[in-house]
């Protein structure tokens, strides 16, 4: 048996290097959640802008706030789904401090 491109750990098992750099679910979550928060904040800022400049003549502010609510609900459901799939783990709340 030849060890091609790998190392041997303390137990003698061969640890192989992976050639593909696919993001793991944890890394994927570190990207998705901040992007979703940025989109939610951008939607709130656009609603504020439309409220100040349209003065109630258009429904752009309503659509911006509806988008924010939709993004918030989608993010919440995605986090629940990620927990259910095991992509993220809860750490718990430390009691007794």
Predicted structure pTM score: 0.66
- How many whole angstroms separate alpha carbon 26 and alpha carbon 92? 18
CB 59 within 8 A of CB 46: no
User: Where exactly are the structural domains of the chain?
Assistant: 24-85
Per-residue model confidence (pLDDT) at position 13: 52
3-state SS, residue 62: helix
Question: Which residue positions in the chain have pLDDT lower than 70?
Answer: 1-26, 97
Instruction: Check residue 87 and give its pLDDT.
Output: 83
Determine which helix (DSSP H) or strand (DSSP E) holds 41, and give its type and residue range: helix 25-54
Q: What per-residue confidence (pLDDT) applies to 89?
A: 83
Q: What's the confidence (pLDDT) of residue 27?
A: 74
Name residue, tokens 């992509």.
Answer: 87
Is the C-alpha dihedral spanning 69, 70, 76, 77 positive or negative?
Answer: positive
């Amino acid at each position: 048996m030849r060890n091609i491109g790998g190392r041997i750990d303390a137990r003698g098992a061969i640890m192989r290097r992976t050639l593909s750099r696919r993001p793991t679910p944890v890394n994927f979550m570190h990207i998705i959640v901040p992007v979703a928060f940025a989109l939610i904040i951008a939607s709130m800022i656009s609603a504020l802008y439309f409220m100040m400049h349209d003065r109630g003549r258009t429904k752009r502010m309503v659509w911006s706030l509806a988008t924010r609510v939709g993004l918030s609900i989608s993010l919440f459901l995605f986090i629940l789904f990620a927990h259910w799939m095991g992509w993220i783990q809860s750490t718990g709340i430390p009691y007794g401090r």
